Amino acid sequence: MQLSWCGEVRRAFRHFNPLEVVTCAYAVISGVYILCLAGRVQAPFVLLLGRVGIMCGMGFLALWHARCRSRIVEFVRAVFPLMLITYWYPETYYLNHGVLFPVHDAFFDGLDVRLFGCRPPLEFSKALPAPWFAELMSFAYFSFFLTYIYIGCLLFFKYPGRFYPFMFVVLVSFFLHYVFFVLVPVEGPQFYWPYPDNQVPDGYWFSKLLRFGQRVGEKPTGAFPSSHVSMTLIFLWVLFRVERKSFWALLPVACLLFASTVYIKAHYLVDVLAGFVAAPVVYCVARKLYGGLCGRFPWLDCAERKWSDYERTK
């Protein structure tokens, strides 16, 4: 009985989907980093324990799904690795704060001044302090998470054959940003600048929601390049290739989001420009990795089609 159960566990892990595989890979690689620098990383035991819990949770879901083949469990398996970005992103603070390199905000803040003759985040918020505009910027910044959820649900329910290829690319793109954040620590104006320069004009409901989210989930990390900008560009590209009407509907919101990253002082303007450069790079790397992973490990839940088939517009 015990041997049969162990065999089932092995078969469940053998049928990990691509999102679970890349999440485990990130957890293991970053775990090795934590072990090697345990004397410098904050709370290394807690971070390692979190990784063990995440991988065990994915293994449990895979085993459960192998037994019951439930559509609900399949959805939970698909969503779980995607929702973990809310854990991985703030965690980069503990992996980069005083570990290998000092923060580089002085350089990027100065670069903004040299290139543009001012501090764009400061001047932008001063020029348009009206509550309605602050609310618009807060909504635009918050729309990043709504777009992420929308794309995941759209692909899973409407285009299931494209869900794993595209969401794998999205998830790997996030991880590539996080690796860069660890190696190049930048806090951003909202943390680096002193009061009152780091303050943002008051808005209404979304402004309060955004500030609550920043207090709960934000850490002084991940400003360069702007993952909000680069990942939004990747979201737009996915929608452009999969469902053109959704692309056109969300394009204006995305343009507002690009502006909001500077307005709320989450980023320097050079961070935003770097996000435009980073987007095609991380997308291409992630796309190549998906093809290589599925080719090397045919037991993964990968459709045997060329990438151009996934990008065929509906």
pLDDT, tens digit (0-9, with 9 covering 90-100), for 140-169:
999 999 999 999 999 999 998 889 889 999
Q: Which of 53, 85, 294, 291 is nearest to 170 (CA)?
A: 85
| DSSP reduced 3-state for 162 | helix
Q: Kindly list the domain boundaries of the chain, sorted by start residue.
A: 1-83, 103-310
Instruction: Name, in order, each residue with C-beta under 8 angstroms of 231's C-beta and a sequence gap of 6 or more.
Output: 144, 148, 170, 173, 174, 177, 279
CB 47 within 8 A of CB 91: yes
Top-confidence residue, 229 or 59: 229
Q: Is the pLDDT of residue 302 over 60?
A: no
DSSP string spanning 85-139?
HHHHHHHHHHHHTTSSS---HHHHHHHHHHHHSS-HHHHHHHH---HHHHHHHHH
The pLDDT value given to residue 304? 42
Our separate counts of H helices and E strands in the chain read: 15, 0
The pLDDT value given to residue 296? 66
Top-confidence residue, 39 or 269: 269
Q: Mean pLDDT: which of 216-225, 234-243, 295-304 is highest?
A: 234-243
Cis peptide before 102 (omega within 30 of 0): no
Placement of tokens 């002082």 in the chain: 265
pLDDT, tens digit (0-9, with 9 covering 90-100), for 237-283:
999 999 999 999 999 999 999 999 999 999 999 999 999 999 999 99
The identity of residue 269, as a single letter, is L
What's the pTM? 0.91
| DSSP reduced 3-state for 32 | helix
CB 266 within 8 A of CB 190: yes
The pLDDT value given to residue 307? 46
Instruction: Name, in order, each residue with C-beta under 8 angstroms of 182's C-beta and a sequence gap of 6 or more.
Output: 30, 33, 92, 95, 96, 99, 100
pLDDT, tens digit (0-9, with 9 covering 90-100), for 63-88:
888 888 888 998 999 999 999 999 99
